[in-house]
Structure 1
């Protein structure tokens, strides 16, 4: 458990670096995030308001700040993951840092790219990150939920249910960690000031 606390702290502090703002400054778009519609310092706004390369760099670093502490904990501490509930804290810490960053008065982004990075850090346990990716694709390309606010809520709720109820040999800590990540992102969505339009569903295989 002490190792888990150390790696969770590292993950939280790493997650608190908002790379959308960093790369917007580097690419000469200093106030791009503030001028965006929802002022969210995340990957999507880095692409939309900072440009392609700003978005790519933000995506890579936002995923990396989740991936590195989780991967290091899983592969460098030689912990028995089946008995290490601390893994749940390590998984959720970078997402918590991104959403409530200590360097930015606890006002951060939604944590979506970081959550992918954290789950990717579990490899060779591919199931959690693939499940999250499939949920995003399903609610984007099969049953499209609009706007993005409600799609994100649906994705993280359904993904957590899949992880909990699927018959896999995932450690209990992974179930808890995915639950914590989902709760953090749902809390951020609840706190969001963005305008919430009416939710719509569209079956994309049905031609209008």
Structure 2
């Protein structure tokens, strides 16, 4: 069966360091007609379940644990009977939103998740968050970057548990080596390509984006 990528944009808030912002988040579902994985579970469980349909959900994969990416992860996981995967370095952020519910599985760098006959490889890319992870599928030519990388630059690093130099190294060492035609599917906003990002990267770094 053909693997496809389904997408929804959901609206809500992001809160950290005593501030709250209105945000629109991308939610991604990857799979075939029988099974799928969900990448991030932001503001609207029903919108994500609409993408899933009657398929078996193998996992809820978290790119990182800021509340606008995991707020609905426990509710979604319980509704579809799937485990939540999170890199352990991001538990410090997860616990701010879900102190009474832990993720079910630890994500490791280079861990491979199989779904619908394709592989998603976890790439540890700290900087925006200490345990931020991107998911790369060579077969699909896509990398899901969460808030590590957007069409317009690196993810924000002006808040707790973030670091500009670290995110720059993550993008340079883990993402830019991917094939230039690789589609970048971020946690917010429009998609891009690794080639487009590569052409702007030095400018972003020079101005301390």
TM-score after normalising by structure 1: 0.27
Which structure has the highest helix share of the two?
1
Which structure has the highest strand share of the two?
2
Which is greater in Rg?
Answer: 1
Greater relative contact order (CA < 8 Å, ≥ 6 in sequence): 1
